């Protein structure tokens, strides 16, 4: 029993010495990670305010700021793990993230399709807020656009959430793009 306790004490003491030896690396990695979150959030705010000065497109501005934020977080996380001595783990995490994104892409195909359609609509902009449009049998004014859906207020006051992928796949009639509208009726 004494041999077991002595061996256990030696193993625990070695673990303790290893922990004390890597403690500065862990602390530095934690500092890098905290600085990364701070810098990424400040860059996101700065980018959003600067872009909003030059454009009134809040969707595109928010999208670009959010993408920049997540790219900086991924770079900072990689730097923090490298500082801690987990260089091999960085490559494995990035490979796992790529594989996970691939699997989740198939699992959440419709959500991903609407998200990518929202990105395309943010850049292409076939309409703006307040335009009178018709798509997929919905006739009304655009009151909002986010990365997943377009919000249309019908002429009788209903709010309809139309998935962005549907807007890209079906015809979109924009009645107020040039402020001319011709109506025909028979008397």
For 161-172, how does the pLDDT look when each residue is reduced to its tens digit (9 = 90+)?
A: 999 888 888 898
For 35-77, how does the pLDDT look when each residue is reduced to its tens digit (9 = 90+)?
A: 999 999 999 999 988 888 887 767 677 778 888 898 899 889 8
Q: What is the pLDDT of residue 39?
A: 95
pTM: 0.56
As given in the structure block, the two tokens for residue 33 are: 């990670």
Q: How far is CA 187 from the centre of its chain?
A: 54
d(CA 21, CA 14): 10
Q: What is the pLDDT of residue 101?
A: 72
Q: What is the pLDDT of residue 156?
A: 92
Higher pLDDT, 161 or 105: 161
d(CA 120, CA 147): 9
Q: What is the pLDDT of residue 90?
A: 67
Please say if the pLDDT value at position 23 is more than 90: no
d(CA 20, CA 80): 18
The C-alpha angle with vertex 100 and arms to 99 and 104, in degrees rounded to 5, equals: 120
Please say if the pLDDT value at position 4 is more than 90: no
Helix axes 87-107, 58-84, angle to 10 degrees: 140
For 133-145, how does the pLDDT look when each residue is reduced to its tens digit (9 = 90+)?
A: 999 889 999 998 8
Mean pLDDT of the chain: 83
Give one DSSP letter per residue of 133-162, joined into a string: EEETTEEEEEEEE-SSEEEEEETTS-EEEE
For 87-98, how does the pLDDT look when each residue is reduced to its tens digit (9 = 90+)?
A: 776 677 767 777
Q: What is the pLDDT of residue 127?
A: 85
The predicted model gives 96-124 an average pLDDT of 75
Q: Where are the beta strands (DSSP E) in 66-148?
A: 132-135, 138-145
Higher pLDDT, 123 or 137: 137
CB 63 within 8 A of CB 122: yes
The predicted model gives 180-186 an average pLDDT of 75
In terms of average pLDDT, the best of 83-92, 117-126, 129-138 is 129-138
d(CA 167, CA 159): 16
Give one DSSP letter per residue of 32-57, joined into a string: HHHHHHHHHHHHHHHHHHHHHHH---
d(CA 48, CA 94): 27
CB 32 within 8 A of CB 77: no
């Amino acid at each position: 029993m004494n041999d077991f306790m002595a061996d256990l004490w030696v193993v625990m003491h070695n673990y303790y010495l290893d922990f004390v030896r890597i403690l500065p690396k862990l602390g530095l990695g934690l500092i890098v990670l905290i600085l990364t979150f701070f810098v990424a959030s400040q860059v996101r705010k700065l980018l959003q305010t600067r872009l909003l000065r030059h454009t009134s497109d809040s969707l595109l501005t928010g999208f670009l700021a959010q993408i920049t934020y997540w790219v900086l977080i991924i770079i900072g996380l990689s730097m923090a793990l490298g500082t801690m001595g987990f260089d091999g783990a960085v490559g494995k995490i990035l490979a796992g993230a790529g594989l996970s994104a691939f699997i989740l892409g198939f699992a959440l195909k419709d959500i991903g399709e609407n998200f990518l359609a929202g990105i395309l609509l943010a850049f292409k902009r076939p309409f703006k807020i307040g335009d009178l449009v018709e798509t997929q049998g919905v006739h009304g004014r655009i009151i909002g656009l986010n990365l997943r859906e377009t919000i249309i207020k019908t002429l009788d006051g209903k709010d309809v959430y139309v998935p962005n992928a549907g807007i890209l796949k079906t015809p979109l009639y924009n009645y107020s793009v040039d402020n001319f509208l011709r109506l025909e009726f028979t008397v």
